[in-house]
Amino acid sequence: MASAISKIRRLLRAARVLGHHGVLPPPEWAAMAPPEARFLGLIFRKRKANMHGRTGERLARALTDLGPAYIKAGQFLATRPDIIGSEIARDLSELQDRMPPFPRVEAERILREELDPAQIARLGNIGEAVAAASIAQVHKVTLKAAKEGDPPQYRALKILRPGVDIEFARELEAHAWAARMAERTGGDMRRMKPTALVDTLARSVAIEMDLRLEAAAAAELAANTARDDDFRVPIVDWDFTTRRVLATEWMDATPLKDIDALRAQGHDLKRLATSVIQNFLKHALRDGFFHADMHPGNLFVDSQGRLVAVDFGIMGRLDAISRRFMAETLAGFLARDYRRVADIHLQIGFVPPRHHVDDFAQALRAIGEPIFGRPASNMSMARLLTQLFEVTRLFDMEMQPQLVMLQKTMVVVEGVARQLDPEHSIWESARPVVEQWMIDSIGPQARIKEASEGLSTLGRAIAAFPEVLRNAEQIAAQLSTGGIKLHPDSTQAIAEAEVRRTAHVRWAIWIGAAALAAIAIAQF
């Protein structure tokens, strides 16, 4: 009972704040909102002072007032325009996760709890927080020199807020309870699957609550970009990294948002704008792993002009199929070859084959021509991707979360590039990256590599061929004397083994099947 009362109290507080901003429910969702939400909207009436701006802007302000868990929920919803609509998603994507810092003495207490005495002894002075968000904040710390005369070393320590895991758990429990109640109303609310959305959000937050996982993401991105001469990732110091503490090298770099300082230091802003776009696309297309929170506060420039990224709590992944889809889609739009773009949608299976390729290409032309008819500085890749996903829904393309994450990040990255260079041509920056990916991944050299891998697989299959034939003869003999009888457990084991088989073993199975068929025909 006490737990239910606590959830209701939390939800009523949220309803009051949302109602005062006129978004309980947002007008665009009124038809699908459960009756309870509409009733609470009448009780907690909107306040005139809060009613300026678009629905998405008012919703973003309300979520900010509600605190960290709701800010995270808003950032998550920004990746689902298929559910909340593109305009509201765009406004929520600008939610900033900033909070007042907690006291330094609390940070020192957490360090004493997380690190052993030998590690604590290596830490020198800990400065005040240099950045603070809903889940953690960052401090600069000096490491004590191993011997006299050694140059000083500095670390950036990201430390979880005290009790943040408990607070988030309580809020998410209330969200989950409300989602279950909403689904019981049926109709559109059940179709939106709010419980699944809350579950996904809870998993995402759980990952952010373990800073060892963020450290792993930073290390992976660093390994992927080790040979890139215009991009840097701070090195993780695993000696001081735990579940609640992430330690990296301290980067002496200039914030990318400090345009005046960058200009005063002689940095080429046009080159930096190109670097932002090209590095993001290289990470997404070449590596399939990209920083999905590339706002100006997370980007810096070092003394050598290299882009430096920090804060790896939100990362995106693209599998091989999604990378090919994105590269060929962008290449097709660059060439204004709309049929090619339509073809890749159907080939990969994102759009069902019942739709005619020419009809789809016509719809794509309606997206591309207005964008490519603009001056280069006004051509937006993010706008194109947003409209692409809106149109593809008309052709029954299911929303691909990994692509939406990429599109959402593209919006932010474009904004960063345009702050550095208002006349920047996003498409001209993207072109060499897309073209290089096409050469590396589906060009002649890639085909030769695929062929060599195929020959290696075939060679292993041929080497196993005599044993396969012997097995086939034994199976044929059993078939001729009443068939093969398998225990159900054996059938299950075979099925599970089949899932685990490598490619060359599957080749052997198919060859064996062919041999078995030949023997059976001969006996017949």
CB-CB contact of 302 with 253 (8 Å):
yes
Are residues 330 and 398 both part of a single domain?
yes
Look at residue 376 in the predicted model and tell me its pLDDT.
67
User: Which of these ranges, 45-49, 129-133, 381-385, 425-429, has the smallest mean pLDDT?
Assistant: 45-49
Mean pLDDT of 326-349: 91
Are residues 177 and 145 both part of a single domain?
yes
70-73: long-range contacts, CB 8 A cutoff, minimum separation 24: 70/14, 70/171, 71/95, 71/97, 71/134, 72/97, 72/134, 72/135, 72/168, 72/201, 72/204, 72/205, 73/175, 73/201
Are residues 262 and 316 both part of a single domain?
yes
Mean pLDDT of 94-99: 74
Look at residue 443 in the predicted model and tell me its pLDDT.
58
Mean pLDDT of 366-376: 80
User: Which of these ranges, 22-36, 45-59, 196-210, 330-344, has the smallest mean pLDDT?
Assistant: 22-36
Point out the catalytic residue in the list 82, 91, 97, 293: 293
Are residues 19 and 42 both part of a single domain?
yes
Are residues 102 and 9 both part of a single domain?
no
409's CB contacts (< 8 A; 6+ apart) are: 280, 290, 291, 292, 293, 294, 316
Instruction: Write down which residue in 78, 97, 116 finishes a domain.
Output: 97
Look at residue 191 in the predicted model and tell me its pLDDT.
61
Look at residue 456 in the predicted model and tell me its pLDDT.
52
Instruction: Write down which residue in 202, 219, 250 finishes a domain.
Output: 250
Given pLDDT bands bounded at 50, 70 and 90, which one contains residue 342? very high
CA-closest candidate to residue 205, choices 240, 172, 178: 172
Range of the domain at 125: 98-250
Q: Is residue 493 predicted with pLDDT exceeding 50? A: no
Question: CA torsion angle for 263, 430, 312, 198 (degrees, to 10)?
Answer: 130
Look at residue 90 in the predicted model and tell me its pLDDT.
78
- Please state, in angstroms and rounded to a whole number, the distance separating the CA atoms of residues 335 and 373: 13
Q: Is residue 68 predicted with pLDDT exceeding 60? A: yes
5's CB contacts (< 8 A; 6+ apart) are: none
What is the value of pTM for the model shown? 0.74
Instruction: Write down which residue in 376, 411, 442 finishes a domain.
Output: 442
Select the more confidently predicted residue: 322 or 398: 322
Mean pLDDT of 170-174: 86
Residue 245: beta bridge partners?
159
Q: Is residue 190 predicted with pLDDT exceeding 70? A: no
Look at residue 484 in the predicted model and tell me its pLDDT.
40
Given pLDDT bands bounded at 50, 70 and 90, which one contains residue 82? low
Q: What percent of the chain has pLDDT over 90?
A: 35
Q: Is residue 372 predicted with pLDDT exceeding 50? A: yes
> What kind and span of H or E run contains 322?
helix 320-334
Are residues 123 and 147 both part of a single domain?
yes
Are residues 294 and 233 both part of a single domain?
no
Q: What is the mean pLDDT of the chain?
A: 81
Look at residue 189 in the predicted model and tell me its pLDDT.
63
Are residues 221 and 309 both part of a single domain?
no
Encoding tokens for residue 409? Answer: 């990040």
Q: Is residue 230 predicted with pLDDT exceeding 90? A: yes
Q: Is residue 20 predicted with pLDDT exceeding 50? A: yes
Q: Which residue has the tokens 């208002």?
A: 422
Look at residue 278 in the predicted model and tell me its pLDDT.
96
Select the more confidently predicted residue: 48 or 467: 48
Q: Is residue 235 predicted with pLDDT exceeding 50? A: yes
Look at residue 273 in the predicted model and tell me its pLDDT.
96
Select the more confidently predicted residue: 463 or 300: 300
**97: phi then psi, degrees, rounded to nearest 5:** -95, 80
Are residues 266 and 406 both part of a single domain?
yes
User: Which of these ranges, 141-145, 184-188, 232-236, 332-336, has the smallest mean pLDDT?
Assistant: 184-188
Are residues 391 and 290 both part of a single domain?
yes
Q: Is residue 293 predicted with pLDDT exceeding 70? A: yes
Q: Is residue 453 predicted with pLDDT exceeding 60? A: no
- Please state, in angstroms and rounded to a whole number, the distance separating the CA atoms of residues 159 and 105: 12
3-state SS, residue 300: strand
Are residues 207 and 154 both part of a single domain?
yes
Look at residue 488 in the predicted model and tell me its pLDDT.
47
Is 287 marked active-site? no
Are residues 69 and 128 both part of a single domain?
no
Given pLDDT bands bounded at 50, 70 and 90, which one contains residue 156? very high
Look at residue 520 in the predicted model and tell me its pLDDT.
45
What secondary structure does DSSP assign to 133-153, as a single string? -SSEEEEEEEEPPSSTTPPPE
Q: Give 112-124 pLDDT, tens digit per residue.
A: 999 999 999 999 8
Q: Is residue 59 predicted with pLDDT exceeding 60? A: yes
Look at residue 251 in the predicted model and tell me its pLDDT.
93
Pairing verdict, β 299-301 and 307-309: antiparallel
Look at residue 86 in the predicted model and tell me its pLDDT.
74
Count how many domains the chain has.
4
